[in-house]
Structure 1
Amino acid sequence: MRVVIAPDSFKECLSAKSVAAAIARGWQRGAPHHELVQVPLADGGEGSTAALVDSLGGRLHEVSVTGPLGEEVCASYGLVGDGETVIIEVAEASGLQRVTADSRDAMRATSYGTGELINAAVAHRPRKLILCLGGSATTDGGAGILRALGARLLDAAGQDIPPGGEGLLQLASLDAAPALEKLEGIELTVACDVSSPLLGAEGAAAVFGPQKGATPAQVDVLDEALGHFATIAGQSGHDIHSFAGSGAAGGIGGMTVGILGAKARPGIELIMDAVGLAQQLGGTDLVITAEGAIDSQSSSGKTPVGVAALARQSGIPVVGLAGRVGDDLSALHEAGLTAAFSITPAPVSLAEAIHEAENNLVTTSEQLARLAEVLIDRGHSGT
């Protein structure tokens, strides 16, 4: 039996590579003669750079940049294809993992450091730049990126607006020409892990603001600030809000497409293509995918649904493993996910779930392998 193991990372817990290795270790215990193929994935969020650099044989470069709250952090970008393609993920410089849970500040968190990463990367004069958008700590609409690239975002007095989403309320004029000049001749693609709009009840502030530290009142302010940014951008001829995915990464999706002229692709599709997952599925009997949570939100561009949809084209069953499994998985089943299982054996705290995630993955995958072995044996015996 050939089993392809194609998981995402468990956010703030295990990398996709570690998740795949844990599943493989457990499966080997239960069915040691099965052929296992590990294909770590990402959906455009945290871990995307590593997944792409590993699969494409590139290399990582480290640089000191500005973190979400203004602190200095060491972040990496990837170069592949002899420097022809640069890979950057927002989570590296401006991600939630850069801020402790009790320090998150959605009002002033800035994407400036991601712009600094882009500056460092384009010094190599690449032909292509892939920007992976998930996992951000920011809701500034990508204003920080624009400023780092040289764009002018000024208030009514002609001064730079303050960093963060709240600062957008003071925006009076926008000149993106310096940023566009810096990226001239570079094909820019953004990998989105969500299809959320920029504004409104399903927008960047309302859906993702709370996990970035925003109170209900601050969510309203941030939504207003992003709306004001959209208005000013529109006056300069840039549409940053009228399309799906414009709310990705706190509005960076809208800015990169609407102002910088990027082409948006679902992150999981881009990464599955890059690692050649479709080719890996040839002759495969079962696919195991995994993510920290598998629930109704997973159908919006997350790894499990991407893997399931691809495997369904070849009639291959897909099992999902997660720390938490939601109640309504109908959309995922329709997309091709055969079944999903929680690896958590009993009610535990988040800290305990994170601490035991690797062991729980091993245990659960071993039990699944044992079940698969029995079903195969029964099928061969005709019972």
Structure 2
Amino acid sequence: MPNTVVIAPDSFKGSLSARLVADAIAEGWASVRPDDELVLMPQADGGEGTLDAVEAAVPGARRRSAGLVTGPDGRPVPGEWLELPDGTAVTELAQSSGLPLMASPAPLTATTRGLGEVIRAALDAGARSVVIGLGGSASTDGGAGALSALGLLLLDEQGEPVPDGGAGLLEVLRIDRDELVAPPAGGVVLLTDVTAPLLGPSGAAAVFGPQKGASPEQVAELDRALGHFSRFLGGDPLAPGSGAAGGAGYGFAAAWKARIEPGADYLMTLSGLPSAIGEADLVLTGEGRFDDQSLGGKLVGQLIGLAGAERVGVIAGQVTASGGVWSASLTELAGSAEASLADTAAWLREAGRRAAEELG
């Protein structure tokens, strides 16, 4: 008897978009069970692939160029945003300020300035509200670079602008908000997949700094810098999600009163995924690495909670968690991480085939 299978993966960061991941899994499944109905709904949780997921979910969404913007290491990169029919601008920090855009890690100086330049372009084009996908950032600057691009002045003791990057925040002695662009009348929503606060042992620097190349000494310096910055900017540095994207969640919440929301939930609702799951026999999802963090607010964990572990299969580049679900590791199928990365689409097709054999 044919089944209805919803295929709703996240992107495999640095490898394939969520759309290409879904396509490959579907090809593998269909090679075994060609009569099943496959519903492809690529997803995101606020990080890399957010623009793709929203574009696929919202009829009439239109890509807009922001021109060249400042990349995380200062080199220019092309900026993009998504214009929705209701006047909402969707932006993705990873697209303009993400870690893969770096020539080499620079944890003390990487900046989110490009994100602010993209948002400014969207506002200049008449955006009535803004959604900012937070995730995949190269920096730990508390969103200071982005806010500076939007007119916030961070000044040192000589009244000069402080350098971009997290370490520069230690030089801030005054903040001038007079030139800060006002947030759009429709408000600002921040999409994130973490609940980390800005500061401390579970904060932006401590948890995510090492992923961006920070040594223990640099992590301590960045945490001090963020704490110093927060004393001038105000807001709540302990709010859940304020540590997202190197503290960009905190920066926009404090300066623009932006609302932090779980990105996976927001995008699942936008795409109609809960309704599709209700009519499905099985849900296949996936991400680059399925680990304990996946179960704490990321897309895969949210889908397991929504559909129930018995109806979910997870395909990932690496698998170190269980979650009570069927799973397939591309690294194990290919024999090594290097082999799986060399032809990710082929191993996703193989994983999809295995899923059909074992779950269909």
* Category of TM-score, reference length = shorter chain: over 0.9
CA separation of 1:340/1:118 partners in 2, compared to 1, >3 Å: closer, same or farther?
same
Q: 2:70 aligns with which of 51, 66, 69?
A: 66
| Ranges in structure 2 where 5+ consecutive residues have no aligned partner | none
CA separation of 1:289/1:347 partners in 2, compared to 1, >3 Å: closer, same or farther?
closer
* 1:57-96 correspondence runs (5 A): 57=59, 58-62=61-65, 63-81=67-85, 84-96=87-99
Match of 2:29 in 1: 27
Match of 2:225 in 1: 225
Q: 2:345 aligns with which of 358, 365, 378?
A: 358
Deviates more, 1:48-57 or 1:165-174: 48-57
- The Cα shift of 1:300 comes to 2.3
The code of the aligned residue for 1:49 comes to L
Alpha-carbon contact 1:320-1:339 (below 8 Å) kept: yes
Deviates more, 1:240-249 or 1:132-141: 240-249
Match of 1:381 in 2: none
1:200 equivalent in alignment to 2:200:
yes
Question: 2: CA distance between counterparts of 1:297 and 1:242?
Answer: 20
* 1:115-264 correspondence runs (5 A): 115-179=116-180, 181-233=181-233, 238-264=234-260
- The Cα shift of 1:316 comes to 6.4
Alpha-carbon contact 2:48-2:135 (below 8 Å) kept: yes
Question: 2: CA distance between counterparts of 1:176 and 1:279?
Answer: 44
Q: Deviations over 1:216-238 (max 9, x none)?
A: 211111111111111222xxxx2
* 1:249-328 correspondence runs (5 A): 249-312=245-308, 317-326=311-320, 328=321
Alpha-carbon contact 1:287-1:316 (below 8 Å) kept: no
Question: 2: CA distance between counterparts of 1:52 and 1:176?
Answer: 32
| Ranges in structure 1 where 5+ consecutive residues have no aligned partner | 374-383
Alpha-carbon contact 1:240-1:259 (below 8 Å) kept: no
1:369 equivalent in alignment to 2:356:
yes
Determine helix, strand or coil for the equivalent of 2:256.
coil
1:16 equivalent in alignment to 2:18:
yes
Alpha-carbon contact 2:129-2:184 (below 8 Å) kept: no
Question: 1: CA distance between counterparts of 2:351 and 2:70?
Answer: 40
Match of 2:332 in 1: 345
- The Cα shift of 1:71 comes to 0.7
* TM-score of the superposed pair, with normalisation by structure 2: 0.95
- The Cα shift of 1:183 comes to 1.8
Question: 2: CA distance between counterparts of 1:356 and 1:96?
Answer: 22
Determine helix, strand or coil for the equivalent of 1:178.
coil
Alpha-carbon contact 2:142-2:246 (below 8 Å) kept: yes
Question: 2: CA distance between counterparts of 1:324 and 1:177?
Answer: 48
Determine helix, strand or coil for the equivalent of 2:21.
helix
The code of the aligned residue for 2:8 comes to A
Determine helix, strand or coil for the equivalent of 1:345.
helix
Match of 1:380 in 2: none
- The Cα shift of 1:184 comes to 4.4
Task: State the aligned residue count.
Answer: 356
Determine helix, strand or coil for the equivalent of 1:242.
coil
CA separation of 1:184/1:130 partners in 2, compared to 1, >3 Å: closer, same or farther?
closer
The code of the aligned residue for 2:48 comes to E
Question: 1: CA distance between counterparts of 2:96 and 2:331?
Answer: 31
The code of the aligned residue for 1:41 comes to Q
RMSD over aligned Cα atoms: 1.6
CA separation of 1:177/1:353 partners in 2, compared to 1, >3 Å: closer, same or farther?
farther
